[in-house]
Amino acid sequence: MRLESVISHFAKDERGTVAILWGTALIAFLGFFAITLDVGRLNSTHAELQSFADNVALAAAGELDGQPDAITRAANAAANLISDSQTFANGPTALSGVSDYTLTFHSALPVSDLTPLGADLTTDPREAKFAHVVLTPKSVSMNLASALDKMLGGSGFAGVNISPEAVAGYSKAACDISPLMFCLPPNWETTLNVGDQMLLRSGGNGTAWGPGNFGFIDLDHFHDTSGVCADEGGNKLACLIAAQDQITQCALTNGLDTEPGQKVGITNAAFNVRFDIYRSVLNGEKNNVDFAPAPNVIKGIQKKGGGSCIQGNEEATIDTAALGRDLCLTAGTCGGNNRFGDGVWDRQGYLDQNHDLADNVADGVGSADHLPILTGSDTVFANTRYGMYLREIAYGNSGATTNPDTPNILDSSLSETGRPMCSSHMSTDPARRVVIAAGVDCVQNPVSGRTSGVPVTKFVAVFLTEPVGDDGGSPPSFDIHGEIVGFPDVSGVGSGGNGFGGIFRDIVQLYR
């Protein structure tokens, strides 16, 4: 056969074409499969590392409460509370401890997520609001894709480094609270209990405040856009303290600004509407239901010269008395510079003066000539002044008083009936005489008049046992005598909160 004929026959022969196509496709398929496996390992590793970074950031951010040891606690939480593992990256599989990440803190975040962090880096625990975690890079080998590339004559692929980041922040919000703060005593966790009385005195300017000094929170934290104080103008502070059912904006309490306590014409007037006393900036609010007094206003004072409204001079009544002070406060022997009592007061003496009744807490009798006993959740206040106050309200509401047509708390022949006489309204809420105050550790976070960025340590519900008074000085100092009835940022009756309003939220969230 001639050569030309052989070549022509070979050119026309189609046998083996499928094998060539199959071989080419196999190479492409193996390449695709290798890349898929390597990319899958890469994505899986990134997900594992990102989860670890997120959890480290959240653990650290949860400690950024503005206290002096916040950064130390945040670093310890990140290092000791979080552990995880990774599967495919080179090196150890365990993820735990500072060798696996870098942790920094920031006071603010850029507006855009595309802007790198760095400008607001801080080491100040009072300024640290955000935790930024960057993981130590982990290398993932692209073994299959690299092997295939070498088979095709390439030089292979280097491992891919993965270093996820995460940013988390912490904030503590309180809503519908009073713009009142005070300095806690040392070891407050073990010394402040329900039933203990506190003497809070207004703090001054220029000197550091100590335990028992009180002041106010900057009203910029309490923009009131829908409550009764929305249109009060220059009297907003008085309104936010005095009005019932006021609505306030949620304030971030890991960095409040404080104001001095001497608010002449506001301090005592704002608190004392609860006792049916209307004076100074609240002189014209006695018939405004938004400023209605409490359902029990026994206070042991009356208008001097007679009359139902105490708006000027007053004098002590001769036949009634306010709820008594802790005996150690009267004797000057209480701890904390005689500002924090122990809950021991002359309960029987109060009953003798105002009711001429045996103490139902002691004898357990509930008859028509005794004050009602406490029931349900109110039993937590047994032997306290607030418990006595509740029993008196129940007595007046029961119709068992001297004049059933006028449900007084006290005998109508006495100087006080226990019900409001000046205002034409009366609140139906017994907690009307309770205010929620922000307790601050003024040793770790010094306060002197107007101070910025002060974190709240604990919120305290305080029952006003008597009207707020001033010492007559210039400028005057104001004294608040109040009994601790709960810690409202603790959830639930019986667990410390005791149901005294306010809305409290700890917010820890990822931002990046």
Partner residues linked to 131 by β-bridges: 105, 168
Distance (Å, whole) CA 53 – CA 95: 10
Q: What SS3 state is found at 147? A: helix
Q: What is the pLDDT, as a whole number, of residue 408?
A: 84
Q: pTM, whole model, 2 decimals? A: 0.72
Residue 323 class from Cβ within 10 Å (0-12 exposed, 13-18 middle, 19+ buried)? Answer: buried
The answer to whether residues 334 and 454 touch, using CB atoms and an 8 Å cutoff, is: no
Among residues 89, 191, 98, 100, the alpha carbon closest in space to that of 140 is found at 89
**384 token code pair:** 């306290």
Q: What is the pLDDT, as a whole number, of residue 367?
A: 40
Partner residues linked to 490 by β-bridges: none
Q: What is the pLDDT, as a whole number, of residue 384?
A: 93
Q: What is the mean pLDDT of each run of 10 residues along the chain (512 residues)?
A: 60 58 56 62 78 87 78 88 77 80 82 73 80 84 61 61 83 77 85 90 76 82 67 74 74 72 74 90 86 93 84 84 93 84 91 71 45 81 92 82 68 86 91 89 82 82 91 77 84 51 72 78
Strands 83-85 and 94-96: antiparallel
CA dihedral 341, 345, 350, 356 (to 10 degrees): 170
Please report the DSSP string for 75-108 in residue order.
Answer: HHHHHHH-EEE-SSSSS-SEEESGGGEEEEEES-
**What's at 171, amino acid-wise?**
S
Q: Where are the domains of the chain?
A: 11-171, 176-511
Distance (Å, whole) CA 60 – CA 365: 55
Distance (Å, whole) CA 402 – CA 365: 19
Question: Which are the contacts of 404, defined by CB distance < 8 A and separation ≥ 6?
Answer: none
What stretches of 295-384 show up as alpha helix (H) in DSSP? 327-331, 335-338, 347-354, 360-363
Distance (Å, whole) CA 166 – CA 82: 14
Q: What is the pLDDT, as a whole number, of residue 18?
A: 59
Q: What is the pLDDT, as a whole number, of residue 30?
A: 56
